């Protein structure tokens, strides 16, 4: 639920140098251990999203300074977009995500854990969707809080949940833990990557409890196999 005003283009070089998973966060809860989750390969998923049937009424920017070039595309059972990745560190305050590490930090997320507390960005892979607007209404497209997302970068697949909402005109943001698992610099101020990320959101899905990454992987793998059969 942040509004970024700085571009992450300068960070792309550093992100491309990331060779693998960064160390687990030091705040007590380990991050996701794998960058190839489930039985479906990145190549198989990407082969199904080579063309776009645009369902959004307009296009999104990746940052405030960029032009609007990113459409939301529709497939059987899913929507997808190809964009950058800004780092969302919102939610529970930790040593990795707080006012000192993140100039845009907010202590809440749009969707909450089963105990009612905000999500934890440095240990839970989650994706940010644009807040509903005239461009696109995510809920009207069957996308829910806790819905499963396959996030693909450099031939790696990470399953995440829909965990937060962002600006109405900007797309391409995920949690610290999502970036970390994919080998992207997760620093909330200077990290991220400015291209090359594919987000496939499975319609009418919901992980329960939302904070269970293992549940997201199990459901995500099932839905990914179904997605390949139906497209």
228 has pLDDT over 70:
yes
- Check residues 5 and 204 and name the one with the higher pLDDT: 204
32 has pLDDT over 50:
no
Q: Is the peptide bond before 209 cis (omega within 30 degrees of 0)?
A: yes
Token pair 């082969």 is at which residue? 47
34 has pLDDT over 60:
no
Alpha carbon distances (Å) from 41 to 153, 155, 183, 221: 12, 8, 17, 10
Question: How confident is the model over 133-143, as a mean pLDDT?
Answer: 98
Cα–Cα distance for residue pair 205/73, rounded to 1 Å: 17
Mean pLDDT score across all residues of the chain: 88
Question: How confident is the model over 140-161, as a mean pLDDT?
Answer: 97
Give the bridge partners for 158, in sequence order. 151
Q: What is the pLDDT of residue 189?
A: 94
Question: How confident is the model over 194-212, as a mean pLDDT?
Answer: 98
Token pair 């790696």 is at which residue? 156
Q: What is the pLDDT of residue 35?
A: 55
| 4-8, 44-48, 167-171, range with the lowest pLDDT | 4-8
Q: What is the pLDDT of residue 23?
A: 33
Cα–Cα distance for residue pair 228/231, rounded to 1 Å: 6
Question: How confident is the model over 147-163, as a mean pLDDT?
Answer: 97
Sign of CA dihedral 138, 108, 10, 6: positive
- Check residues 109 and 34 and name the one with the higher pLDDT: 109
Q: What is the pLDDT of residue 28?
A: 34
Cα–Cα distance for residue pair 172/160, rounded to 1 Å: 14
Residues 6+ apart with CB under 8 A from 108: 1, 90, 91, 118
Q: What is the pLDDT of residue 19?
A: 32
Q: What is the pLDDT of residue 4?
A: 47
Q: What is the pLDDT of residues 72-122, one digit of tens each?
A: 999 999 999 999 999 999 999 999 999 999 999 999 999 999 999 999 999
Structure-block tokens of residue 22 = 């960064």
Q: What is the pLDDT of residue 210?
A: 98
């Amino acid at each position: 639920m942040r509004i970024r005003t700085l571009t992450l283009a300068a960070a792309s070089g550093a992100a491309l140098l990331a060779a693998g998973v960064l160390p687990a966060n030091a705040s007590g809860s380990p991050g996701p251990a794998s960058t190839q989750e489930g039985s479906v390969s990145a190549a198989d998923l990407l082969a199904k999203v080579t063309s776009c049937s645009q369902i959004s009424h307009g296009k999104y920017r990746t940052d405030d300074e960029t032009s609007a070039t990113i459409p939301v595309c529709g497939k059987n059972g899913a929507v997808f977009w190809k964009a950058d990745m800004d780092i969302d560190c919102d939610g529970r305050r930790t040593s990795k995500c707080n006012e000192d590490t993140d100039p845009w930090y907010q202590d809440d997320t749009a969707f909450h854990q089963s105990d009612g507390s905000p999500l934890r960005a440095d240990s839970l892979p989650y994706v940010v969707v644009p807040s509903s607007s005239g461009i696109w209404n995510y809920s009207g497209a069957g996308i829910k809080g806790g819905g499963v997302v396959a996030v693909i970068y450099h031939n790696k697949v990470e399953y995440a949940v829909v965990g937060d909402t962002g600006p109405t005109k900007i797309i391409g943001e995920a949690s610290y833990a999502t970036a970390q698992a994919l080998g992207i610099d997760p620093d909330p101020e200077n990290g991220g990557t400015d291209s090359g990320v594919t987000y496939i959101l499975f319609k009418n899905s919901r992980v329960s409890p939302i904070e269970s990454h293992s549940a997201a992987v199990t459901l995500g793998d099932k839905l990914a196999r179904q997605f390949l059969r139906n497209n």
